[in-house]
Structure 1
Amino acid sequence: MGMPASEFGNTLDLLRLNEIHIVDMLPEMLLMIRSVIAKETFTYRRKPIDAVKKGLLFSFQNIFSHSSDDRQKHNEEKSIQARPHIRISPLHMESEVVFPKAITITQITILIDLDFLKRFIGKDQEAFRYLFNDDKTLLIEEFMSPEMADLVNIIATIAELDILSEAYYKLKTLELLYLLFKNLSKRQHIKYQSLRKDEIAALYRVRDAISNSSEKRLPQDEMVKISGMNVLKLRKLFTQIFGKGIYEYSQFLRMQEAARLMKDDYLSVSETGYQLGFTNLSYFGRLFEQHHGMKPKKWSAQHRLKDK
């Protein structure tokens, strides 16, 4: 499904395949569940797919196993590539898949026929028309919500089914797509445009720089220099791919990191705020509550209690 072993070339030696499971529901859709571990961090460029004439590829990437060792390695990985996320791309577009070193990664990939997807969405499809223009080169990336993360782990760990296995996988796959499109419906309404490969690469360089600057805001001049774009173009295209403005995206990452520091590293609220560059803890608390629905002290107490 877009990534046969023969296409990996010499990089195949860097991968250990723990599991691969393909559920062929074509011509409507195809589901692949793959669990691998890489000896060294490397990037693989996926070639265009021709399994269906017109379709989309939904790649649920970097789903970490629940083992404590993998969670620790995940926490130590600073790159945004380590965060569970979804990439949506047309089948004719090449894309990159990153395999981090020594971390067991489970990926779920859904290939779906465009006409079938439109029928599934029904009367609400007009809101997602930008995804259905097969002539444009669009790349959409979305963070994985807790609901989606729970469901992908259920799908990834389904035991062998003797009865109605295809029906069960189809049900869960459509449920996952429903959750994803519910998230996509909250995106800012903008006019989408086709992107060149160099523009996509530039936007990901900016995204990575933002991710690696969680302790302070990345200066606008630096982002302009990294991207090679003017400010207006950078802001527009960044929002198109990632669904959030640059400042909003940066704050989202900082609040996700704040939650991780309190939950996994057992930092206090004040320690967390100062580590992330906040000098005003009241402002940090308000921002955290906006993103997580409760004040950081209460959130920390609840989540530490769950882990006991």
Structure 2
Amino acid sequence: MLVEFVTDANHNFLSLFAGLLNVPVENQQLLVPASLGEGFVKLIDLDKDFRMLIHRYRLKEELVLKRIGTNEPASWISLIFYSNEEPVTLVSSDQAVQQFSRFNDQAIQIASNNLDSVITFPAHSEIYFTVVALSAKNLHQLLKLNRPDPLIETIIRPEGSFLFYESLSAEAQIILKQLAEPQQNGLDNFFYRTKVQSLLYYVFSKLHNRQSTLHQPINKADTEKLSLIRTAVLANLAQPPSLPQLAAMAGMSETKMKELFRQVFGDSIYNYYQTARMEEAAYLLRHKGYSVSEAGYALGFTNLSHFTR
């Protein structure tokens, strides 16, 4: 199933999705019919130009969400929180494929509404993600920075496109699960606004703590190249990445590649590789039944005593 939509202020994803499923929207929620799967999508209006969409369902067929960036200057920010147990993929073009959930680095995507993306969820997989969308003006008023921050200024005063990724903590995952639970005590809106503000505080605290200088403009071509670089780094976690080879493959200078990679992912390429290697080791131990020595050797750890620490 393909769902294609444009990210502008007037877009109503819930109505579009309901039309494709041929189901009604009641109380800003749709229920997936048993013939197609199970679960729900719920829209929550938190304030003017501030809303949340909770996706929690399992479909009998593959779901492809194709977001088409607006041609207008960026004015809205979307934060997508992925907490799927099973991997899903995101592409910024037909060739650039990125994995979610197996590696936690991209569990949160912060993007301007003028960037394209395609998210693919396999059939019969648990789909659980939450989208928070708000205007740049609204976010600016909400954050009320009391000292300059070049990175956050890029988001609240957008002059071009931006894209950042962050990891998802256990505390943030708990909040996301709480948001998906029914609230019927008369304080629903207050509950949702409080929880969403906690998520926003978590995300922007992480971004605020990045050692960033002035933000470099990023375009669709850059996002595709960074996706290729990330895919190459993760393709063989037993082998440390070669920066000259990565730069040549992406058609970037090493300097630009390193700066943009750190800007988008919040860390150097090598540190990113090391983190992914440890996350892959945890995945092999937890989900694939590998022993510690098997996981260590598979990922190129020559000193297993160091690996077990």
- TM-score by length of structure 1 reads 0.76
Alpha-carbon distance between aligned partners in 1 of 2:21 and 2:260, rounded to the nearest angstrom: 32
Q: How big is the shift at 1:79?
A: 5.7
1:126-141 equivalences in 2 (<5 Å) = 126-127=148-149, 128-141=152-165
Corresponding residue for 2:177?
153
Tell me, yes or no, if structure 1 residue 204 matches structure 2 residue 224.
no
Aligned partner of 2:119 among 73, 78, 97: 97
Corresponding residue for 1:30?
51
Larger % of strand: which? 2
Q: How big is the shift at 1:4?
A: 5.3
Tell me, yes or no, if structure 1 residue 229 matches structure 2 residue 248.
no
Aligned partner of 1:110 among 125, 132, 141: 132
1:18-57 equivalences in 2 (<5 Å) = 18-37=39-58, 43-48=64-69, 54-57=75-78
- Residues 53-83 of structure 1: per-residue CA shift (max 9 Å, x gap): 933111112x22xxxxxx4x549xx962344
Alpha-carbon distance between aligned partners in 1 of 2:66 and 2:295, rounded to the nearest angstrom: 37
Larger % of helix: which? 1
Unpaired stretches in structure 1, ≥5 consecutive residues: 65-70, 286-294, 296-308
Which amino acid counterpart does residue 66 of structure 2 have in structure 1? R
Relative distance call for 1:244 and 1:182 in structure 2 (3 A) is: same
Tell me, yes or no, if structure 1 residue 270 matches structure 2 residue 289.
no
- Percent of aligned pairs with the same amino acid: 25
User: Could you tell me whether the CA contact under 8 Å between 2:241 and 2:270 is conserved in 1?
Assistant: no
Relative distance call for 1:95 and 1:195 in structure 2 (3 A) is: same
Corresponding residue for 1:80?
99
224-233 vs 255-264, greater mean Cα deviation: 255-264
Corresponding residue for 1:174?
197
Unpaired stretches in structure 2, ≥5 consecutive residues: 1-10, 23-35, 89-96
Aligned partner of 2:263 among 228, 237, 240: 240
Relative distance call for 1:278 and 1:176 in structure 2 (3 A) is: same
User: Could you tell me whether the CA contact under 8 Å between 1:33 and 1:108 is conserved in 2?
Assistant: yes
Q: How big is the shift at 1:280?
A: 1.7
Q: How big is the shift at 1:243?
A: 0.9
User: Could you tell me whether the CA contact under 8 Å between 1:82 and 1:100 is conserved in 2?
Assistant: no
Alpha-carbon distance between aligned partners in 2 of 1:198 and 1:228, rounded to the nearest angstrom: 11
- Residues 131-157 of structure 1: per-residue CA shift (max 9 Å, x gap): 22322111111121222122212212x
Corresponding residue for 1:256?
279
- Residues 83-125 of structure 1: per-residue CA shift (max 9 Å, x gap): 4511111223333323234311111000123233223322346
Which amino acid counterpart does residue 161 of structure 2 have in structure 1? T
Alpha-carbon distance between aligned partners in 1 of 2:113 and 2:12, rounded to the nearest angstrom: 9
Which amino acid counterpart does residue 213 of structure 2 have in structure 1? I
Q: How big is the shift at 1:231?
A: 1.2
Alpha-carbon distance between aligned partners in 2 of 1:166 and 1:186, rounded to the nearest angstrom: 30
Alpha-carbon distance between aligned partners in 1 of 2:12 and 2:115, rounded to the nearest angstrom: 11
CA RMSD of aligned residues (A): 3.1
Aligned residues: 271
Relative distance call for 1:253 and 1:124 in structure 2 (3 A) is: farther
User: Could you tell me whether the CA contact under 8 Å between 1:79 and 1:212 is conserved in 2?
Assistant: no
Q: How big is the shift at 1:16?
A: 5.0
101-110 vs 221-230, greater mean Cα deviation: 221-230
Corresponding residue for 1:60?
81
Aligned partner of 1:121 among 131, 138, 143: 143
User: Could you tell me whether the CA contact under 8 Å between 1:34 and 1:108 is conserved in 2?
Assistant: yes
Alpha-carbon distance between aligned partners in 1 of 2:63 and 2:249, rounded to the nearest angstrom: 22
Q: How big is the shift at 1:180?
A: 1.4
User: Could you tell me whether the CA contact under 8 Å between 2:139 and 2:156 is conserved in 1?
Assistant: no
- Residues 23-78 of structure 1: per-residue CA shift (max 9 Å, x gap): 1123141011012445565643213469xx933111112x22xxxxxx4x549xx9
